[in-house]
DNA sequence: TATGAATGAGTATTCATTCAT
DNA sequence: GATGAATGAATACTCATTCAT
């Protein structure tokens, strides 16, 4: 197979995921038919099934792409600042994610609570992409945490991350228990307490 | 309408929710058809539409029933113990929920992350049922929290609750970032730090 | 359910089988779509699945109907003659079936070799319809066969019947090993020898 | 084209037929796709169409191969015995075929009633392969049949063969009208009567 | 010759919803 | 209120066939 053919294949798959992403965003997963996806991707019906078993599989691909995108954005923003303090770094990332969801409510509504950092990380590991692991190292490498083992730090981190995602969902979309602006101070205070 | 007729109606609705619960558990929401629900509930197809607009509506009813059930169980167990310390009480409830999901993995898989305490509480409020609010009061009423306003306590509480639900899901079902047994110590340690 | 509603249901099912029969005859089973069947039966798509699981199931119904029809025709024709000799009766039925297929080549092409008397009889038994069993009794009740047990007579009979069906198929449709007119004398001679 | 290239071609075709045979056996003709056939044959999809027009054509090839195989086996077994009596020889072949199907029920289920000796013989003639004709001659060459013309003998033979195939199918697969073990005596008795 | 990615018409099947009884 | 037969639009999915490489 020629290299250009290989590229064409990649492009087709990419187009499908992109089309699915857009449609899921616009009308929700269940209301989006595979028919619409292929139409928007300018690809034949059968081609879809060349790359994905069914709608769930392309859904996973969309979630992975979106989650990855958000975290990478956060990572890049973090690198531009030069925050010496670990807690500040973590709070920065938490805030970045929350703000992303606030600005992109549709994205939040789409991936609901499927924005799960552990799962994204797992996927990345499988694909031997450790960009995000780097970010985690950047965030958490600190004398603060020296009293915890490596494992323990990671797990604490995960807990914080799940917390941020979960609160974002309930607070931004349903204003429960309160609007996100009122939740943020409590949330950040909580994170500080956890890390100190 | 006679009282017994009223009871018959209630029973039909109850049967429908029960049937839906069982089927959602067995084969997932999307793979369960209204046809199957009415068949298992021994009710005619048209009858479904006398009580619910569509599948989403009965789904909400199922989630409310299940969440309520879990929390009530936790409340009753809590009352039998007589834990004087607030932190112990909260940890007890957290542990109770986690253990419930561990023993009923299918339930966890079914309601996924829809087990959201704030949302359940909101629903209870709407139905003017404050049993769960009582439990929250029981948990959080403590001099520990005197430095926080009522509002602030509630919000912290919610954050903890979301955290527990979220971690349960990822950890019990996917062993991410680690099996629940390994996550528990970290989680409880974190909760303690938040509350102290 | 009212009696007329019941009759309506019977009619719908009957229409479906009739439509399927016609289409299978015209264009073969595989080239006939369920879509066409329901269109010709003037029935909605979903209605098909109210009565049959899939195409195979309606195929079975068609085969049963056709086979039954042919055998009943033969039975009636047999009753109008008054053939005293058993062998003559059996040869008459054999000839009737062969001639039916010769005149209705499309039917033969459709049911291929699925015109199997044992299977039809089994089906009839299940439906507690013993008209065909009567015919068999009429054919085979004879002092000729007194040396055989009841079981043995039946089995011989079946062998003859399969033979007739099988030869009809190969001979009428493919002229193998010879056209049916040339095969008949040999076939009848063979049957005579079996029965004498 | 070199001889080895020729051999490669033959091998590809052979692989395709072999793969089709296996798949037809495992999952039936209709449920087997050409895609699966080429995958199992380790051949590209387009290659299929270099050798066969469509699925029917490869089906014919499979039937021919299988039928031929069975009959050749029978022929060889027959040659090892040295049965002087024609009736014994014919009964031996009949029994051999029945036993083959009994041991290879899947094969019987696959080719259904398409195991038709006349049709196989016709195909062999077209390919100028007269091995099977030889077997027929071996079976039927006998003073017994001197009263019949050559043609007549052949036709009787064919009738017997169809009978055996047909009865095998109904009796082995459906136990109709009785299991094959109970049918055999009647069948053999019948064949004897025909030939005497 | 051989390949296998791409096609898209075709097909089975589902299922929420209606409505006459 | 209760029923359940009927509906048919919507949808997922298949697969024989083509054709540029």
Tens digits of residue pLDDT in D97-144: 999 999 999 999 998 877 777 667 777 777 788 887 787 777 777 766
Q: How far apart are CA B32 and CA B95, in angstroms?
A: 32
- Is residue C1 scored above 60 in pLDDT? no
* Nucleotide nearest D45 (Cα, C1'): E4
Burial tier of D187 (Cβ tally within 10 Å: 0-12, 13-18, 19+): buried
CA distance C166 to chain D (A): 6
Q: Which residue, C119, C125, C165, is CA-closest to D174? A: C119
Would you state the pLDDT for residue A141? 72
Q: Taking the CB of residue A73, how many other CB atoms lie within 10 A of it? A: 13
In sequence order, the 6+-apart residues with CB closer than 8 A to the CB of A153 are A140, A145
For the CA of C34 and the C1' of F8, the distance in angstroms is 14
Of B154, B162, B177, the CB nearest to A158: B177
Angle between helices D86-103 and D55-80 (to 10 degrees): 130
Beta strands in C18-155 (DSSP E): none
Q: Is-contact B17 B65, C-beta < 8 A?
A: yes
Q: Per the CB < 8 Å rule, is C113 touching D183? A: no
Q: How far apart are CA D122 and CA D127, in angstroms?
A: 9
Tokens of A25: 């965003």
Residues A79, A84, A90, A94, Cα dihedral to 10°: -60
Q: Which residue, C117, C31, C28, is CA-closest to C66? A: C117
- B162 at A interface, C-beta within 8 A: yes
Q: Taking the CB of residue C113, how many other CB atoms lie within 10 A of it? A: 21
The stretch B114-142 carries a mean pLDDT of 76
pLDDT band at A153 (very low <50, low <70, confident <90, very high): confident
In sequence order, the 6+-apart residues with CB closer than 8 A to the CB of B135 are B71, B74, B75, B78, B93
Would you give the DSSP letter of residue C28? -
The pLDDT tens digits for C115-165 are: 877 667 777 777 778 887 787 777 777 766 677 777 777 788 788 888 898
The pLDDT tens digits for B87-108 are: 898 899 999 999 999 999 999 9
- C144 at D interface, C-beta within 8 A: no
- Is residue A143 scored above 80 in pLDDT? no
Buried b (16+ CB within 10 A) or exposed e, B147-174: eeeeeebbbbbbbbbbbbbbbbbbbbee
In this complex, the chains that touch A, judged by 3 or more CB pairs closer than 8 A, are B
For the CA of C34 and the C1' of E20, the distance in angstroms is 27
Nearest CA in chain A to B123: A176
Nearest CA in chain B to A191: B194
Would you state the pLDDT for residue B147? 75
In sequence order, the 6+-apart residues with CB closer than 8 A to the CB of D105 are D172, D173
Distance between alpha carbon C66 and the CA centroid of its chain, in Å?
A: 5
**Protein side of the strand F interface (CB < 7 A):** A 2, 5, 31, 33-35, 45-46, 49, 54-55; B 8-9, 12, 43-47, 50; C 1, 5, 8-9, 12, 43-47, 49-50; D 31, 33-35, 45-46, 48-49, 53-55
Q: Where are the domains of chain B?
A: 1-52, 62-195
Which of D115, D154, D162 is most worth mutating to test chain C (most C CB atoms within 10 A of its CB)? Answer: D162
Q: Per the CB < 8 Å rule, is B170 touching A30? A: no
C-alpha distances (whole Å) from D57 to each of C95, C185, D49, D61, D67 are: 34, 35, 10, 6, 16
Q: What is the mean pLDDT of chain D?
A: 86
Angle at A104 between CA A98 and CA A109, to 5 degrees: 90
Q: Per the CB < 8 Å rule, is D118 touching C187? A: no
CATH architecture of C1-52: Orthogonal Bundle (1.10)
Buried b (16+ CB within 10 A) or exposed e, B8-32: eeeebbebbbebbbbbbbeeebeeb
Q: What is the mean pLDDT of chain B?
A: 85
Tokens of B67: 């969440």
- Is residue A180 scored above 90 in pLDDT? yes
Residues A100, A102, A106, A110, Cα dihedral to 10°: 70
pLDDT band at B1 (very low <50, low <70, confident <90, very high): very low
Would you give the DSSP letter of residue A173? I
Q: Is-contact B163 A162, C-beta < 8 A?
A: yes
Tokens of D18: 């072999």
Global pTM reads 0.83
CA Rg, chain B, in Å? 19
- A195 — phi, psi (to 5°)? -85, -25
Percentage of residues in chain B with pLDDT exceeding 90?
36
Of C113, C119, C186, the CB nearest to D174: C119
- C170 at D interface, C-beta within 8 A: yes
- A155 at B interface, C-beta within 8 A: yes
Residue entry with tokens 């995960």: A158
Q: Per the CB < 8 Å rule, is B113 touching A166? A: yes
The pLDDT tens digits for D167-196 are: 998 899 988 888 999 999 989 998 998 888
Q: How far apart are CA C20 and CA C25, in angstroms?
A: 8
Percentage of residues in chain D with pLDDT exceeding 70?
93
- A116 at B interface, C-beta within 8 A: yes
Q: What is the mean pLDDT of chain A?
A: 86
In sequence order, the 6+-apart residues with CB closer than 8 A to the CB of B134 are B75
CA distance A6 to chain B (A): 34
Would you state the pLDDT for residue A10? 85
- Is residue D54 scored above 80 in pLDDT? yes
C-alpha distances (whole Å) from B104 to each of B99, B116, B121, C47, D115 are: 8, 17, 22, 40, 55
Tokens of D75: 């022929």
Contacts of A113 in chain B (CB under 8 A): 112-113, 166
- Is residue A30 scored above 90 in pLDDT? no
Q: Per the CB < 8 Å rule, is C177 touching D194? A: no
The pLDDT tens digits for A97-132 are: 999 999 999 999 998 877 877 667 777 777 778 877
pLDDT band at D1 (very low <50, low <70, confident <90, very high): very low
- Is residue A171 scored above 90 in pLDDT? yes
Q: In this complex, how many residue pairs, one in chain C and one in chain D, have their CB atoms less than 8 Å apart?
A: 90
Collapsing DSSP states into helix, strand and coil, what is residue B134?
helix
Scanning D54-83 for CB atoms below 8 A from C yields none
CA distance A19 to chain B (A): 23
- C51 at D interface, C-beta within 8 A: no
The stretch D48-59 carries a mean pLDDT of 91
pLDDT band at A144 (very low <50, low <70, confident <90, very high): low
- C142 — phi, psi (to 5°)? -165, 145
Would you state the pLDDT for residue A2? 61
For the CA of D34 and the C1' of E2, the distance in angstroms is 17
Tokens of B66: 């299940």
Q: How far apart are CA D82 and CA D78, in angstroms?
A: 7
Q: Per the CB < 8 Å rule, is B190 touching A186? A: no
Q: Is-contact D127 C150, C-beta < 8 A?
A: no
Give the range with max mean pLDDT: A94-98, A143-147, B144-148.
A94-98
Of B30, B159, B186, the CB nearest to A155: B186
Of D158, D170, D176, the CB nearest to C177: D158
């Amino acid at each position: 197979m020629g290299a250009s053919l290989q590229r064409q294949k990649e492009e087709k798959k990419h187009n499908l995921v992109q089309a699915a992403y857009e449609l899921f965003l616009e009308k929700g997963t269940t209301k989006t038919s595979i028919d619409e996806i292929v139409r928007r991707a300018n690809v034949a019906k059968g081609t879809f099934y060349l790359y994905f078993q069914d709608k769930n599989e392309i859904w996973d691909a969309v979630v992975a792409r979106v989650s990855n995108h958000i975290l990478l954005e956060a990572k890049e923003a973090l690198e531009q600042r030069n925050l010496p303090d670990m807690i500040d770094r973590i709070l920065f990332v938490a805030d970045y994610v929350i703000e992303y969801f606030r600005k992109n409510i549709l994205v939040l509504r789409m991936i609901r609570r499927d924005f799960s950092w552990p799962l994204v990380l797992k996927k990345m590991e499988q694909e031997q992409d450790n960009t995000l692991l780097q970010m985690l190292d950047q965030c958490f490498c600190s004398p603060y945490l020296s009293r915890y083992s490596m494992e323990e730090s990671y797990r604490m981190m995960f807990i914080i991350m799940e917390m941020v995602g979960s609160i974002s969902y309930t607070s931004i979309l349903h204003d429960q228990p309160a609007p996100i602006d009122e939740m943020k101070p409590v949330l950040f205070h909580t994170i500080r307490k956890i890390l100190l």
